[in-house]
Amino acid sequence: MRRVVVTGLGTINPLGNTVETSWNSLINSNSGISKINKFEVDDFPCKIAGSIDDSKINDDIVNSREQRKIDRFITLGLIAADEAIKDSGFVSENESSFRYGVMVGSGIGGLDTIYRNSSILDNKGIRKISPFFIPSSLINLLSGHISIKYNLKGPNSSPVTACATGTHAIGDSFTIIKNNKADLMVCGGAEAAICPLGISGFSAARALCDTFNENPENGSRPWDRDRSGFVMGEGAGVLVLEEYEHAKKRNAKIYGEVKGYGMSGDAFHITKPSEDGNGGFRAMEMALRESNLNAEEIEYVNAHGTSTQVGDMIELSAVEKLFELNSNLFMSSNKSAIGHLLGAAGAVEAVFSFKSLETKTLPPTLNLDNPSTNTSINLIPHEAISKSVSNIISNSFGFGGTNASIIIGD
Amino acid sequence: MSDIEERVKKIVVEHLGVEEAKIQSDSKFIDDLGADSLDTVELVMAFEEEFGCEIPDDAAEKIVTLKDAVTYLTANSN
């Protein structure tokens, strides 16, 4: 059976523009959440987000002229992809490039670009629409750009499953390599929806935190009594997945293995997760089955944990049910520090999960002052914990009742 | 260099990211200056904006060098 390992990691997120800087910031309990200052938010119920300062965007990777022709989510994705591919030391040679693919998705894609061009159409007319409007905002163009830049001619696609996108991209890539359709996949997710239309849309759906505008760093607080919705973040996470023998042959550094992947649908509601947590439960169970591990062998859950009233408790109860025999289970939410990166969330959280394996450190859940329920699971409040773990499950659940879980291990 | 030529050159420098010294009046946007077909559409839009005119598609297709642009705009701009 073909095994799938991870040989490269890359990210840009509200805590930093590399894996190393953002991971160190995460385990030191820093928050990447701040007041939105790029546009006027006086009328917005939510005025906070996990934004990336423009000065952190490396023009050497994507020059400013190129940036004008692509939406911000593509720029962020290209930056994370560049780090991951360089980290892997992999160079695609022509004779085998069809064995190397790309699957980097986005939840929403070029929302701000669509908004701006829509305004141009209304105010200035059709002749002022840029020829780059469509290619700069289409979600799969990120995978397209990565394939062109790094000569990757294998499978090329982009999942679009809202907040589960990043995890689906990794899981689908894992499946592609396992089924011998590729030897290497550059995969993950990117998102840049902190724009007037993005914030107002999620506000209208009553999904965003609106009670911590004066204390942005305290806004994202999964499982805490005072949570009031998620805080939006932006960024990208990209991983290089590779067939084990292929990686070994080129002496690549191996971070760990992808062992199992599960997915499911709630068939319940357009924005709410099913109340019994059955969808998330089945995704985790399917991943566990493929991994051939026992539930007791999972030591840490990198949770979806978005800081919404309903979602947090549903995930917790599903985890409690599946891992009821694990007496020493740890679980935390990276979103407490970086916010919810929507389609990039699962990918950035997978990057951090591989860092947990490597550095034997489990990141904290910030702002968990008063857990709203009792649980035997250690939710790692406030500060990171030094602990060596062998197997981690990472969850992502999205609007539309789409659920994805991956199991990674050493 | 005419005023029109100078303004056209400035737009080409900005949009194609090429050094001004490398632009000759007969340099082709696509073959010599690294533009792709979408870049040329955007260039024509930028000329329209700068010179306050509308360049019809059949005329735009014939603008492939700096000189073509200057000639057209000299004859047609307001």
Q: CATH for A4-249?
A: 3.40.47.10
Active site annotation includes A304: yes
**Residue A38 DSSP symbol:** S
Gap from B39 CA to chain A (nearest CA, Å): 8
Q: What are A166-208's pLDDT values in tens digits? A: 999 999 999 999 999 999 999 999 999 999 999 999 999 999 9
Domains in chain A: boundaries? 4-249, 261-409
- Marked catalytic residue, from A145, A168, A246, A340: A340
Active site annotation includes A382: no
Q: Does A125 touch chain B (CB under 8 A)?
A: no
Task: Show Cβ contacts of residue A88 under 8 Å, excluding neighbours closer than 6 positions.
Answer: A7, A8, A240, A242, A252, A253
Q: Which of A150, A181, A156, A149 is nearest to A4 (CA)?
A: A181
Residue B78: the pLDDT is 66
Q: What are A210-238's pLDDT values in tens digits? A: 999 999 999 999 999 999 999 999 999 99
Gap from A188 CA to chain B (nearest CA, Å): 28
Calpha distance A319→A296 (Å, rounded): 12
Judge whether A354 and A256 are in contact, CB under 8 Å.
yes
Residue B2 confidence class, pLDDT cut points 50, 70, 90: confident
CATH superfamily ID and name for B3-76: ACP-like (1.10.1200.10)
Q: What are B42-64's pLDDT values in tens digits? A: 999 999 999 999 999 999 999 99
How does DSSP assign B7-47, residue by residue? HHHHHHHHHH---GGG--TT-BTTTTT---HHHHHHHHHHH
Q: Does A43 touch chain B (CB under 8 A)?
A: no
Q: What are A76-123's pLDDT values in tens digits? A: 999 999 999 999 999 998 889 999 999 999 999 999 999 999 999 999
Q: CATH for A261-409?
A: 3.40.47.10
Hey, of B16, B40, B44, B45, which one would you mutate to test binding to chain A, going by the most A CBs within 10 A of its CB? B45
Domains in chain B: boundaries? 3-76
The residues on B that touch A, with CB distances below 8 Å, are 15, 17, 38, 41-42, 45, 48, 54
Q: Which of A404, A224, A213, A410 is nearest to A302 (CA)?
A: A404
> In chain B, whose CA is at the least distance from the CA of A65?
B17
- Torsion angle of C-alpha atoms A110, A111, A115, A117, degrees rounded to 10: 10
Q: What are A161-174's pLDDT values in tens digits? A: 999 999 999 999 99
**pTM for the predicted model, two decimal places:** 0.96
Q: Do A4-249 and A261-409 fold alike per CATH?
A: yes
Calpha distance A372→A123 (Å, rounded): 49
Percentage with pLDDT > 70 across chain A: 100
Say which of B42, B48, B54 has its CB closest to residue A131.
B42
SS3 assignment, position B3: helix
Residue B77: the pLDDT is 80
Hey, of A59, A65, A66, A137, which one would you mutate to test binding to chain B, going by the most B CBs within 10 A of its CB? A65
> In chain B, whose CA is at the least distance from the CA of A136?
B38
Q: Are strands A48-49 and A34-35 parallel, antiparallel or unpaired?
A: antiparallel
Residue B3: the pLDDT is 92
Judge whether A185 and A173 are in contact, CB under 8 Å.
yes
Calpha distance A406→B16 (Å, rounded): 43
pLDDT at B1 over 80: no
Q: What are A233-277's pLDDT values in tens digits? A: 999 999 999 999 999 999 999 999 999 999 999 999 999 999 899
Q: Does A131 touch chain B (CB under 8 A)?
A: yes
Judge whether A311 and A289 are in contact, CB under 8 Å.
no
